[in-house]
Amino acid sequence: MSRLKDRIALVTGSGNGIGKATAIVFAGEGAHVHLADVDGAAAEATAAAIRVAGGHATSHITDITRGQDVKALFRAIGTAHGKLDVLVNNAGLNVRADFRHLTDEEWVTIREVNLDGVVRMARDGFELLKASGRGSLINVASIMGSRAMRQLVAYSATKGAVAALTRGLAVEYAPFNIRVNTISPGFVATALTKQILRNPTITDALVAETAMRRLGEPEEIARAVLFFASDDSRYCTGSELVVDGGMSASL
């Protein structure tokens, strides 16, 4: 397959989970993938696996909450390629706590990664996406951005903001031939959700609320991201694709 042949792609949070699966899928479709993660060893392990399989991948240690890290990342990609065709803002975290007990420090931590980091990436990556002439910016939000669950209030707030940001950017970036879309996954077994899913009662309840009666797999989300990255979605911008096994339909 070559739906991304010769395209330059950047995936944040690509050391594991959905980001890792997305990087692997992109490389399999012919892209040169840049993997950015605060865990540099994990990003490099994924990049190395892609290269062993015959793909093209470069890893970067990047903390998206640090402006200097983000600027250095885009400088490196600009020097190497002069453009960026696909940017996937996937990095995220959750601080699970009842909102009334959420500390200022916890709120700042989750906001800086889930929202401020996406803002920074979307803003500082603009020139390289514009240089592509067919840029695709994909923000990974969550179905929790429009739904509520106890102890996920802060997470939901940031993901809802990401979806709103996407719509605004879609309008502002369209004149520059940059499409901006959102992927909103349901519950997927990853490092981000392991704290919740280690409780079998919660896991069983989530599965029961999902029409397909199972949790998602990282590659299933990655395949949806691929749709927005490729020309298959060339007339889509400001869209949100929900990939949740029917959980939204079941509620």
Q: Are 186 and 143 in contact (CB under 8 A)?
A: yes
Q: Are 35 and 43 in contact (CB under 8 A)?
A: yes
Q: Which residues 6+ apart lie within 8 Å of 164 measured at CB?
A: none
How crowded is the C-beta side of 141, counted as CA atoms within 13 Å? 28
Catalytic residue among 26, 155, 187, 228: 155
Count of helix runs (H) and strand runs (E) in the chain: 11, 7
CA 151 to chain centre: 22
DSSP code of 181? E
Instruction: Tell the residue number behind the tokens 């892209």, with chain if given.
Output: 31
Q: Is 194 exposed, middle or buried (0-12, 13-18, 19+ CB in 10 A)?
A: exposed
Q: Quick check: is 155 catalytic?
A: yes
Length of the chain: 251
Residues noted as catalytic:
155
